[in-house]
């Protein structure tokens, strides 16, 4: 209670100085909260864009041999067949595997529209692996579609917009693919996608792999999509499939160039490091602003110690322990910093709310979504930790000086 009365007395007699100090701390805290929130929002947006292509998958492109073996020199094309994929399903480290056949510039027609787009032949597990989520009322390919070579098609949302209109539900309608009728069974739910290897999923269509082979007379797989059991055994799963292909096609068992692999585990890990580093950099910038404000608090506390030298001398003359003097000035510094910190967080939350009102180009929002700063619990913990550190540093040295005042000299001080 005594501490609070003393603080209010100081605030009343030094209004301008205390106000400016609290505002400096508020601005510093608003800076660090905004910087960290912007970094977190950017990180989450890019992570969402990365997972739009799929999570925990490996994309494998058949390449050519690089070593002489069984009388064949390097440069022999690697031809992956349907049977190779089925054998790959038996590998213990492989959770799921799908062939992907690609058809480019395929004619797709409705009664009044005609476009040329990509069509992919895939397995039913492909939809889960690639995060192809159907809109309500539709579905992705299933096992019966594959077994019976059904002429069904799952289309990207932008394909739907072009052929049927953005607000329509084309499930059950017919699309003519290279002159053959296909029934639409689903439309992909709109998603934010920054990673891709054959163009955006929104601009592609998907049919059963068995139907694709028949319609386009294909024998060999264009791409192999593999999902390892876990991140830890991803490399082992890739190596197991490479060894399987080498054994089945009589390639050199040590030839590492049979496939070009894109491991999304590695990409995600690299992206995490980049954006966490960026967030740390932004946090340091905001922290420096708060540190400067902390120096202002320390200066005020030094001035306060000088102005209250006589008061300190009286307290120590009547038996006050030096630790009590330290705690008084330390609490005053922490209290000042806490008030500024609370105001700073409120300022940052208000600025984040105003950010939602800033108009952005419609095309940007359609492609990227609306970026938003994210003030998470972790960011709040970081802000409180930095704030307490600044408060302690701003108060400990002035408080120590106050505790070292000689009571005799202090009583003579004017």
Give the start-to-end residue ranges of the domains of the chain.
2-51+268-412, 58-263
The two tokens of residue 294 are 């902390």
The two tokens of residue 378 are 């972790």
| pLDDT at site 362 | 61
SS3 of 76-93: the string is CECCCCHHHHHHHCCCCC
| pLDDT at site 413 | 47
Q: Which residue, chain included where needed, has tokens 């390639």? A: 251
The two tokens of residue 219 are 């024998």
| Sequence-ordered list of residues with C-beta below 8 angstroms from that of 350, at least 6 positions apart, any chain | none
User: CA–CA separation, 141 vs 122, rounded Å?
Assistant: 9
Q: Closest Cα to residue 343, out of 36, 33, 30?
A: 30
| pLDDT at site 407 | 60
Assess contact for 272 and 264: CB atoms under 8 A: no
**Cα–Cα distances in Å, from 75 out to 66, 67, 258, 354?**
6, 8, 10, 60
Q: Give the alpha-carbon dihedral of 387, 393, 396, 397, to 10 degrees.
A: -150
CB atoms within 10 A of CB 80: 24
User: CA–CA separation, 53 vs 81, rounded Å?
Assistant: 24
Assess contact for 58 and 228: CB atoms under 8 A: yes
**Cα–Cα distances in Å, from 210 out to 50, 200, 216, 388?**
29, 23, 10, 64
| pLDDT at site 3 | 47
The whole model's pTM is what? Answer: 0.75
Q: Closest Cα to residue 41, out of 371, 366, 383?
A: 371
Assess contact for 46 and 194: CB atoms under 8 A: yes
Query: Percent of the chain beyond pLDDT 90?
Result: 42
> Half-sphere exposure of 210 toward its Cβ, with a 13 Å CA cutoff?
14
Assess contact for 130 and 199: CB atoms under 8 A: no
The two tokens of residue 222 are 């264009």
Assess contact for 45 and 53: CB atoms under 8 A: no
For the chain, 414 residues long, the average pLDDT of each consecutive 10-residue run is: 53 66 77 80 78 88 90 89 95 95 93 92 96 93 96 95 90 94 95 84 95 94 95 93 94 93 89 82 75 70 66 66 70 75 82 74 57 73 73 68 61 50
Q: Give the alpha-carbon dihedral of 344, 349, 351, 355, to 10 degrees.
A: 160
Assess contact for 106 and 119: CB atoms under 8 A: yes
């Amino acid at each position: 209670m005594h501490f609070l009365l003393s603080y209010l007395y100081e605030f009343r007699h030094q209004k301008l100085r205390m106000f400016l100090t609290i505002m400096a701390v508020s601005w510093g805290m608003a800076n660090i909260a905004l910087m960290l929130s912007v970094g977190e929002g950017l990180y989450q947006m890019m992570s969402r864009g990365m997972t739009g292509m799929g999570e925990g998958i490996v994309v494998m492109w058949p390449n050519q041999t690089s070593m002489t073996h069984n009388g064949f020199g390097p440069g022999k094309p690697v031809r992956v067949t349907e049977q190779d994929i089925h054998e790959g399903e038996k590998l213990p480290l492989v959770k799921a595997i799908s062939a992907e056949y690609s058809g480019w510039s395929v004619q797709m027609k409705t009664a009044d529209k005609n476009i040329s787009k990509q069509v992919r032949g895939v397995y039913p597990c492909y939809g889960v692996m690639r995060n192809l989520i159907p809109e309500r009322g539709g579905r992705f390919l299933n096992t019966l579609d594959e077994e019976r070579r059904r002429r069904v098609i799952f289309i990207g949302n932008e394909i739907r917009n072009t052929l049927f209109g953005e607000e329509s539900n084309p499930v059950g309608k017919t699309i003519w693919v290279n002159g053959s009728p296909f029934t639409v069974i689903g439309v992909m739910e709109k998603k934010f996608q920054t990673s891709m290897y054959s163009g955006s999923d929104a601009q592609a269509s998907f049919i059963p792999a068995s139907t694709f082979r028949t319609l386009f007379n294909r024998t060999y797989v264009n791409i192999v999509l593999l999902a390892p059991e876990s991140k830890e055994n991803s490399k082992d799963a890739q190596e197991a499939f490479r060894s399987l292909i080498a054994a089945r096609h009589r390639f050199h068992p040590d030839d590492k160039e049979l496939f070009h692999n894109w491991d999304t585990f590695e990409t995600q890990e690299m992206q995490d490091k980049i954006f966490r580093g960026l967030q740390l950099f932004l946090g340091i910038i905001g922290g420096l602003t708060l540190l400067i404000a902390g120096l202002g608090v320390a200066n005020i506390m030094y001035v306060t110690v000088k102005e209250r030298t006589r008061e300190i001398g009286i307290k120590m003359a009547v038996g006050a322990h030096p630790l009590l003097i330290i705690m008084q000035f330390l609490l005053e510094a922490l209290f000042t910093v806490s008030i500024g910190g609370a105001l700073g967080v409120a300022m940052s939350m208000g600025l984040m709310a105003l950010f939602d009102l800033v108009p952005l180009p419609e095309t940007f929002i359609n492609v990227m979504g609306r970026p938003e700063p994210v003030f998470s619990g972790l960011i709040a913990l970081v802000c409180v930790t930095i704030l307490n550190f600044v408060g302690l540093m701003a108060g400990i040295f002035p408080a120590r000086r106050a505790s070292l005042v000689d009571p005799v000299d202090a009583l003579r001080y004017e």
